[in-house]
Chains A and B, each alone.
Chain A
Amino acid sequence: MTATQRVVKEVKAYHWFIKFMIFLVALGAAAAVTRFIFGLGATTNLDDTYPWGLWVSFDVVTAVPLAAGAFTLGAITHCFHIKKLEPLVRPAIVTGFLGYSLVCVGLLLDLGQPHKGWHVLRYWNLHSPMFEVSMCVMAYTTVLFLEFLSPVAEKFGWNIPLRILRWLEMPLVILAASISTLHQSSLGTFFLIAVDKLHNLWYNPLLPLLFYVSAICTGMCIIIVEATATHKWMGQPNEGPLLRTLAKILPWTLSLYIGLRIYSLVVLSERPLFDNGILTILFYTEFILGFVLPCCMFMFKDVRNSDTLRVTAALLVVCGLILNRFNVSMFGMMDASHVYYPSLIESLVTIGIITAHILFFVLIAKYFPIFEHHPETVDYSIPDSFGKINPDKPKGASQSEAVTSIS
């Protein structure tokens, strides 16, 4: 009883916006329940012509690249060894872990037989991009969970798991990047089977590579957006100098994407390209506003140094990616005589999932040390007593040197 009262008291003290988000998440959860009671046909606008709708287009195909920040930043910080970016890594991992967990939730809602989802582990079909993505998402969610355990272990002072996690850090970072390479690109492979269905503007054999490169760009942009938002609304220190470093990498990756995209359009795509007015507009919006413009913006030092301009350019990339994924998975396959649009229930569930992401991030940041991460100040050596670390004990000279040098 006292525990419940304490929780109620805690929740009552929350900011009104957090309460509003809790309401939206509850609404989404209720909508998800109606999907199981009344069936997919009654609650969604899906039919035999459009078997995939908002839940696949956003909750899976778009949410996965939006959660790409964790592996991108992990690789940049630890493998390319740009150590000063370390303070950004933990929030990125939390975002990634939440993102992937919610991808799993979205996927389970969309499946006709969610209770049989584990069949993927039993009946392997190596020729299926869906098999590959499911395996990778499961594996990567586990990796992210292990990476996410660090702040949890720190919070509760579990020193031995913490030691193991520190030791696992580098293998996990490399595993995360390798697994992400596979499934970020395989999401593009999904649509290679839609020959004669997906419009020529988006259908080309390079689709998997384009998905992968754009996911890397978006991963970095999401980190810029997130760090700017936590600075503005959650009272975190301004990480401007670090974001400047990221913004310096972005013109290179964005140029690579733009180059590949133009090559795929000019050389690899079938003709005609511009036979449909609406799709042409969507393509130009996505490509020019979402990729070319921010790429040019990031090339200027003034943009990289200005918090507002930098986050604007990053947001443009994020929007460009979202539009790109919707163009590939939804608009590019639509037939003007029979248009799909999401139903109220579908929209409520997706809004609930997006809100849940932000809400859980805020709550985790409230209770776990994800921003105050300074690994060089913590001694991870196992104390003789296997208990709490003695704060007065000086930092282990040689033993912890090797460990902390990793971070």
Chain B
Amino acid sequence: MSANHNPKQNTFLIDLTKCTGCRGCQVACKQWNQLEAEETEFFSGEGYQNPPAMSEYTFTRIKFRDYQKNGENEFAFYKEMCMHCDDPACASVCPVGAFEKTPEGPVIYKADRCIGCRFCMVACPFGVPKYEWSKGLPLVRKCTGCYSRVKEGLKPACATACPTAIEYGPRDEMVKIAKERLANHPDKYIKKIYGLHEAGGTSVLYLTNLPFDELGFKDVTQRPLPDYTWQALRFVPASFLAVGGTLSALSWINHRRERLMNQNATSEQAHTPAEEKEE
């Protein structure tokens, strides 16, 4: 599976130093995608964040983290959402191809194809696809990258609602802006763009002033995940032919040998079955 590095695909640039934690993105996402509210409790998860995790009803969420800076308590935020990988693991493992990386950028899900095997959930390195556990015949739910809006030239709901932190545009431009910010304010940022190489590159890029692992970012491989399975799967046709061919040849030889032995035996009128000698 070749990496899908389209420099013009739309990409989120999320600058967590500019995030105020207003959760306008969370609300806009619920509104645009018509997602039900969840009944939650304060402090039900790791900290102030609410709901405690992304779910079938919550495609994006702001995680809160409190830390000390110059002796004062400060908050750091992390917007959790689908990373819209250039080479998505979910799309590669789905037996019916229900996921697709669109040229516009978003990784979309075709519910009409899905058989509900949940392999995408096992495969996703970011733990994004969620399941409709409450239903008898459940489907997978995840951030759509607001494909319906992006197709019509609009920005995604969360990027539209965000007053400060989210830029949205072609990937090459977003990478350029991110690099400029890192170069202009080396004191303000950790020198890393998360998503530039993670999982082979994603359509969501993050900048932050706190170490990424402290915010709960996963340390994922830089190699596109579909490569890991493809390096084994590419041998499938060859191994099918090799095993089939070897066994066919082997059977032909063995059966021919026996046929010849039987012919000899009958011509000599001797009655000694070959197989008894073997033991």
Contact surface of A with B, Cβ cutoff 8 Å: 36-42, 46-49, 51-52, 75, 78-84, 110-117, 119-120, 122-132, 134, 170, 173-175, 177-179, 181-182, 185-186, 188-190, 192-197, 205, 207-208, 241, 401-402, 405-406
* A193 CB contact (under 8 Å) in B53, B95, B225: B225
B231 in contact with A125 (CB, 8 Å): no
Query: Do residues B134 and A41 form an inter-chain contact, with CB atoms below 8 A?
Result: yes
Q: Which residues of B contact A132 (CB under 8 A)?
A: 233, 236
Q: Give complex CA distance A405, B113 in Å.
A: 49
Cβ of A39 and Cβ of B133 under 8 Å apart?
A: yes
B21: CB under 8 A from chain A? no
A residues near B182, Cβ cutoff 8 Å: none
Using Cβ atoms and an 8 Å threshold, which residues of chain B touch A115?
137
Residue of A nearest to B139 (CB): A112
Partner of A48, one of B131, B218, B226: B131
Interface of B toward A, CB cutoff 8 Å: 1, 53-55, 89, 92-98, 113-119, 121-123, 125, 127, 130-140, 218-221, 225-226, 228-233, 236, 239-240, 243-244, 247-248, 250-251, 254-255, 258-259, 262, 275, 278-279
Q: Do the beta carbons of A81 and B97 come within 8 Å of each other?
A: no
Instruction: Say yes or no: A84 contacts B278, CB within 8 Å.
Output: yes
For the complex formed, measure the closest distance between the CB of A87 and the CB atoms of chain B, giving whole angstroms: 13
Contacts A120-B95, A196-B219, A405-B255; is A46 near B133 (CB within 8 Å)? yes
How many whole Å from B109's CB to the nearest CB in chain A?
13
Choice from A37, A181, A185 contacting B232 with Cβ under 8 Å: A185
Nearest B residue to A178 by beta-carbon distance? B244
A-chain residues with CB within 8 Å of residue B262 when the two chains form the complex: 401, 405
Q: What CA separation (Å) do A84 and B125 show in the bound complex?
A: 51
* Bound Cα distance A82, B279 (Å): 10
Instruction: Give me 12 other A-B pairs in contact (C-beta within 8 A), A113-B138, A195-B220 excluded.
Output: A46-B133, A48-B54, A111-B116, A116-B96, A116-B114, A130-B93, A130-B95, A193-B122, A196-B218, A205-B231, A405-B258, A405-B262
Q: Which of A41, A173, A193 contacts B133 (CB 8 A)?
A: A41
Chain B min CB distance to A263 (Å) = 16
Distance (whole angstroms) from the CB of A354 to the closest CB of chain B: 22
Question: Is the beta-carbon distance between A123 and B53 smaller than 8 angstroms?
Answer: no
**How distant is the Cα of A117 from the Cα of B96 in the complex, in angstroms?**
9
- CB pair B55–A48 under 8 Å, yes or no, is yes
Q: Are B239 and A181 interface neighbours, CB within 8 A?
A: yes
Compute how far the CA of A46 lies from the CA of B116 in the bound complex, rounded to whole angstroms.
Answer: 13
Docked Cα-Cα span, A277 to B6, in Å, equals 45
Instruction: For residue A122, give the distance in angstroms from its CB to the closest CB of chain B.
Output: 8
A46 CA / B92 CA spacing, docked (Å): 23
> Could you say which residues of chain A place their CB within 8 Å of the CB of B251?
78-79, 81, 170, 173-174
Residue of B nearest to A170 (CB): B251
Contact of A125 (CB < 8 Å), options: B53, B95, B127, B131: B95
The distance from the CB of A73 to the nearest CB of chain B, in whole angstroms, is 13
Q: Which single residue of chain A is at the shortest CB-CB distance from B111? A: A113
Q: What are some 30 contacts across the A-B interface (CB < 8 A)?
A: A39-B134, A40-B138, A51-B131, A79-B254, A80-B250, A80-B254, A81-B258, A84-B275, A111-B116, A112-B138, A113-B137, A116-B114, A117-B115, A120-B95, A123-B113, A125-B94, A126-B233, A127-B92, A127-B93, A127-B230, A128-B93, A132-B233, A175-B244, A179-B240, A185-B239, A186-B233, A190-B122, A193-B123, A401-B262, A405-B255
What residues on B are CB-neighbors of A192 within 8 Å?
228-229, 231-232
Chain A contacts for B135, CB-based, 8 A: 39, 41, 112
Residues of chain A within 8 A (CB-CB) of B53 are: 48
- CB pair A127–B233 under 8 Å, yes or no, is yes
Most buried by B among A174, A185, A205, A207: A174
The answer to whether A208 and B96 touch across the interface, beta carbons within 8 angstroms, is no
State A18–B230 Cα separation when bound (angstroms): 46
Interchain nearest-CB distance for A279 vs B (Å): 18
**Taking the nearest CB of chain B, how far is it from the CB of A192, in angstroms?**
5
Set of chain A residues within 8 Å of B95, measured between Cβ atoms: 120, 125, 128, 130-131, 134
Which A residues touch B132, using CB under 8 A?
112
Q: A125-B95, A192-B232, A401-B262 are in contact. Are A48 and B130 (CB under 8 A)?
A: yes
* Beta-carbon nearest neighbor of B89 in chain A: A193
B115 shortest CB reach to chain A, Å? 5
Given A81-B254, A83-B275, A130-B95, are A113 and B232 neighbors across the interface (CB < 8 Å)? Answer: no
When distances are taken between beta carbons in the complex, the residues of chain A under 8 Å from B92 are 125, 127-128, 193
Pick the contact of A196 from B1, B137, B221, B278 — CB < 8 Å?
B221
Within the complex, the shortest CB–CB distance from B238 to chain A, in Å, comes to 11
Max count, chain A CB within 10 A of own CB: residue among B92, B127, B137 = B137
What residue of chain A has the Cβ atom nearest to residue B254's Cβ? A81
A181/B243 in contact, CB under 8 A: yes
Q: How far is the CB of A274 from chain B (nearest CB, A)?
A: 21
CA distance A119 to B113 in the complex (A): 7
CB distance from A133 to the nearest CB of B (A): 8
